[in-house]
Structure 1
Amino acid sequence: MKRKIVIEILSSLLILLFVYTSVSKWLAFKKFIGEMNNQPFPNWMTPILVWTLPAAEVLIAGLLMFDRTQLIGFRASLIFMLLFTVYTLLVLLNVFGRTPCSCGGVIEHLSWGQHLFFNLFFVGVALTGIWLKRKELTPKIS
C-alpha cells in the first residue's frame, strides 16, 4: 500500500512538471517559437519542435495518470529528462555559442546550474518510479 502511494506522488510530480511546462509554452507560444529559433539547432526543426515538445509533455502526463500506462510514462519521463539534462550539461560545458532557455514559466528563471539539479531531481523521480512500478508489476513468488 505504501509503495502505491509513493508511486502516485512520483507520478503526480512528473504530471505537474510536464503539464506546467507545456501549458506555459502554449500560453507564450510566440515567445516559445522565438526561443526555439534561437537554439543551436537548425531553424528548420523549429516547426517540428514547437508542436511536438509540448504535445509530448502532455502525452507523458496522460500516460502517468493511469495505472496501466504509468510504467511507460515513467520511462518516457526518464528519456525526456535525460535529454534535457544532457542539453543542460552541454550548455554548462560551453559547447554552444549561445545558451537560450526555452523552458516554460518560472523554470526559465533558473540558472544553468540550478537547471542541472532540477533536471537531475526529476531524473531521480522517474528512475524511482520505474523501479517501484516494476516491483509492483512483478509477481511475488511464495
Structure 2
Amino acid sequence: MESITERNRSFRFNDSIKEWLVFSICLICTFLFLFSAYEKIIDHSRFAKGLSKVSIISSYAIIIAWAVPILEILVSILLIIPKTHRWGLYGFAGLMILFTIYILSMLLWKETLPCHCNLIIEKLSWGQHLWFNLAFIAIAIIAVKLSEPNLKS
C-alpha cells in the first residue's frame, strides 16, 4: 500500500505548467501594481492627503506618496522580465506584506480609518482589504515555490 507522502511526492507539475502558472501569477501581480501605481500618480494629491492623515507617517507622507508608486512600477518591471521575475515576486510579496502590516495597524489602533486606496480596493472594507492582500501574498509565495529550480537527487 502506497503511503500519502509517497503519493504526494509523485504529484508534480510538469515544467511547462509551472512556467505558465508563474507567468500568469506574474501578469496578475503586474496588473495589480501598475493599476495601483497609475491611480496613485493620477490622483497623487488625494493619496498624499490620505497618508498625511495617519499620524505615525504624516511627516513622511510626501516621500511615501512618491515612493510607493515608484516601487510598484519597479517591481512590475521585474515581474515581467523572465530573468528577474523571481526578484519581482519577492519584491511584490515584500510590499504586500508591508501594506498588510499597515492595514493591520490601522485596524488595531486607529479609530477612524481614512481610505486612500484606488478605485478597485476602495470598494472593500478594511477587513476585506486585509484578506485581499493575504491572498496575493499567498499566490506570490506559490509562484516563488513553483519557480524554484528542480533539485533532483
TM normalised by structure 2 equals 0.83
Within a 5 Å distance, the mapping from 1:60-139 to structure 2 comes to 60-93=75-108, 95-134=109-148, 138-139=149-150
Whether contact under 8 Å (1:39, 1:98) holds in the other structure is no
* CA radius of gyration, larger in: 2
Q: Which residue type is aligned with residue 35 of structure 1?
A: G
Aligned residues: CA RMSD: 1.5
Q: Is the 1:40–1:96 contact (alpha carbons within 8 Å) kept by the matching residues of 2?
A: no
Q: Find the counterpart in structure 1 of residue 9 from structure 2.
A: none
Report what 1:28 is aligned to. Answer: 43
AA partner of residue 99 (structure 2): F
Q: Contact 2:51/2:57 (CA < 8 Å) preserved in 1? A: no
* Count of residue pairs the alignment pairs up: 138
What's the CA shift for 1:125? Answer: 1.3
The Cα of 1:33 is off from its aligned counterpart by 1.6
Question: 1:67-115 CA distances to partner (integer Å, 9 max, x unpaired)?
Answer: 111111000111111111122222222x124321222222122101110
Q: CA shift at 1:140, angstroms? A: 4.2
| Structure-1 residue corresponding to 2:71 | 56
Structure with bigger RCO (C-alpha 8 Å, 6+ apart): 1
Equivalent residue, structure 2, for 1:38: 53
Q: Taking structure 1 as the reference length, what is the TM-score of the superposition?
A: 0.89
